[in-house]
Amino acid sequence: MKHKYVIIGSGPTGLGAAYRLKELGVTDFIVLEKEDRIGGLAKSFVDDKGFVWDVGGHVQFSHYKYFDDLMNKALGEDGWLRHQRESWVWIENRFVPYPFQNNIKYLTPETMWKCLEGIIQVYKNPTMQKPKNFREWILQTFGPGLAETFMFPYNFKVWAFPPEEMNAVWVGERVAVTDLARVTKNIIFNQEDFSWGPNSTFQFPKHGGTGGIWESVGNLVGRENIKLNASVDQVIGAEKKIILSNGETVEYEYLLNTMPLDIFSKKVQGLDAETVQTAQGLKHSSTNVVGVGLKGQPKQSLETMCWMYFPEANSPYYRVTVFSNYSPNNVPDSSQYWSLMTETSESSAKPVDRQTLIDDTVRALKEDQLITDDDEVVSTFHVAFDYGYPTPSVERDSILKAVLPKLEPFGIYSRGRFGAWKYEVSNQDHSLMQGVEWANRMVADVPELTLFFPDTANAMWGK
């Protein structure tokens, strides 16, 4: 088998590339997918009781008109539900609105003062020194009070690595920085401060979870252009040839890889040993999703909530989504059932006992007052993805600079959430556009924006 363009992986990046190639009039391409269905980390699952689960709390908001137009084409204007974001932090046995730092008035007076005093310290002693890592960035931005109360414990639970091992480049729009006047005004006038950031409103599919979107995009690409159960065993760079695990060979002129770069580099014959070894220095965390299907209705305090953050040590999860609030079709019958979806990160620095995780999760959901007792639970679901989040580690950018260009002489380009390892441009919209922009570069020699200029891409807001 021979194709001009070969794409490894059918997540948003691979499907974005394939869709754009087809749109540009290119027919000589194939998508190779190792699983028996498409979607990558954006697929959805239905458990044996009929509850729908995603691979974590995907919500959809966009920086690109192209992406928005494709989403409407995939599901139709009426295929979406639109939501106002309502997110909270559970701490000290109470809910604090997100962003946490703007709403410290909800905390005990002692903790509130500890956080406020730290912010004042930052204002009194500003530093022009560039932070060497994420830990330094947190301290410089929020002060020690907020760092110790929320930012340090929460970020370790999310990333599964200590913040000093992470860079500060990725932060950008992802974290609301602190405004002393705003925080103080909120305390004195007892003001709420909810909406911040790019996903203050978002949309979600009516049917099929997030995976339903990408199944539809797969139909637009054409199923005849997607080869399932096609696991790549090795790539012979000099011959531009792929060998699949079943022995089949696929020749290419241009290859787009979206599998994790560290794994992929080991499959490329002709890549020098030093480059392969360098790629192994990339860090990532694993994602454990535990879904809990519940009978009845959520308590009143949860009726309009989207998701909640959990910095405290009693719970294994860092985030819980009231998934039945995203779409009534995420449960078998919304008049009788509702659902909570939890996310627990895992790494060598933060091991998780997967055998006990469901029990540990249900116990913590009771402690955190989200559910009352075990009798409410009618379904539990657990799926683990070893590659969940690409860690923006201190050494990440130097590794990418050393590895990605070494692939290009073989006609290979590595893009996407784990293909290019840039967390700051790895949402669904970013990932799809990395594929689209690669196709534009291959066919029309248009320079890529998203991967190489993340700050510019993130400033675009649907333009």
Please write the tens of the pLDDT for every residue from 396-441: 999 999 999 999 999 999 999 999 999 999 999 999 999 999 999 9
**pLDDT score, position 193:** 66
Please name the CATH architecture into which domain 2-41+211-282+393-458 falls. Answer: 3-Layer(bba) Sandwich (3.50)
188-236 pLDDT, tens digit per residue, is 777 776 655 545 788 999 999 999 999 999 999 999 999 999 999 999 9
Name the CA dihedral angle for 261, 264, 270, 274, rounded to a multiple of 10 degrees.
50
> Per DSSP, what are the bridge partners of residue 290?
342, 382
Domain ranges in the chain are: 2-41+211-282+393-458, 99-188
Cis upstream peptide for 109 (omega within 30°): no
> Per DSSP, what are the bridge partners of residue 201?
84
Give the burial string for 9-44 (b: 16+ CB within 10 Å, else e).
Answer: bbbbbbbbbbbbbbeeeeeebbbbbbeeebbbbbbb
252-286 pLDDT, tens digit per residue, is 999 999 999 999 999 999 999 999 999 999 999 99
- Phi, psi dihedral angles at 372 (to 5 degrees): -95, -50
Q: Is the pLDDT of residue 462 over 50?
A: no
Q: Which two tokens stand for residue 159?
A: 């990333």
Q: Among candidates 10, 453, 43, which has minimal Cα distance to 259? A: 10
Place of tokens 């006992």: 353
Q: Is the pLDDT of residue 173 over 50?
A: no
Q: Comparing 92-101, 147-156, 372-381, which segment has the lowest mean pLDDT?
A: 92-101
Distances (CA, A) of 4 to 1, 151, 217, 356, 406: 10, 48, 21, 48, 20
Contacts of 326 (CB under 8 A, 6+ apart): 59, 81, 83, 204, 306
297-318 pLDDT, tens digit per residue, is 999 989 989 999 999 999 999 9
Distances (CA, A) of 387 to 40, 259, 260, 390: 11, 10, 8, 7
Please name the CATH architecture into which domain 99-188 falls. Answer: Orthogonal Bundle (1.10)
Distances (CA, A) of 137 to 49, 113, 393: 45, 21, 14
